[in-house]
Amino acid sequence: MSDTLLETRGLRAAHGQLLAVRDMDFSIKRGEIVALIGANGAGKTTLLRCLSGVHPVADGQVLLHDRDVTALEAHQRVQRGLVMVPEGRRLFGDMSVRENLRVAGDHGRKGEWTLQKVLDALPALVSIIDRPAAALSGGQRQAAAIGRALMTNPDVLLLDEISLGLSPIAVDEVYRNLETLRQTGSTSMLLVEQDLSRAMAFADRILCLREGRIVLQGLANTLSREAVTQAYFGMETVPHLESKV
């Protein structure tokens, strides 16, 4: 069985006449954490929305477990193990954290992620489990959104701007939760992160986007901050580094 869980081939997506994702080719392996970085407008969120099935693909393919899922709706991709935690969290504010998690579990796949296991992996949720989602802090909402996604038993978790608008303390809490999740080794992650230092410290591999294209990629521990910064801002041509994982 292939170690590749998620793959794109020649993926293109647009907003009207504007091509936001251009001929995108990359893959994510089982248990791998990949950080997607780039300036505003680079195509990061559009790419995640294409992968999750909430934005139409203009051309190319999205493959999950070597099967073409390009034409599937978002809920069908969830059933196959591909789940997105969107920017803004989008919890049901009038429902408790427990109810938010159970709703997700009812509409996901059967698997090892039960309510108890999610609480074990995200202990910050224990004290707020019966609190309305609308009453949570930013960091608590993000933890609840990650827990809700886990309840669907994903193989690949897409995380969009997970630290956006959060205090430094809340961001630290979110990443502690993600580190606990990483240690389970059961879920691959593709995360959009604006904090370059945080992305390079947490991810196994970095993909840098500019104008809808991957302009630099490589193992996080082999890329210099200078090379990534130059690719990020387009200051000069940067060699294309292939990942060796």
**Does the pLDDT of residue 19 top 50, yes or no?**
yes
Question: CATH number of the domain at 4-233, please?
Answer: 3.40.50.300
What's the token pair of residue 163?
């630290």
Predicted local confidence at residue 238, as pLDDT: 42
Domain locations in the chain as residue ranges: 4-233
Mutual orientation of helices 168-184 and 138-150 as an angle, nearest 10°?
A: 20
DSSP state for residue 61 in the 8-state scheme: E
**Does the pLDDT of residue 240 top 50, yes or no?**
no
Predicted local confidence at residue 88, as pLDDT: 58
pTM to 2 decimals?
Answer: 0.88
User: Order of strands across the sheet with 82-85?
Assistant: 82-85, 156-159, 188-192, 33-37, 205-210, 213-219
The pLDDT tens digits of the residues spanning 62-116 come to: 999 999 999 999 999 999 999 999 765 688 989 999 999 999 998 888 888 999 9
DSSP assignments along 80-148, one per residue: TTEEEE-TT----TTSBHHHHHHHHHHTS--SS--HHHHHHH-GGGGGGTTSBGGG--HHHHHHHHHHH
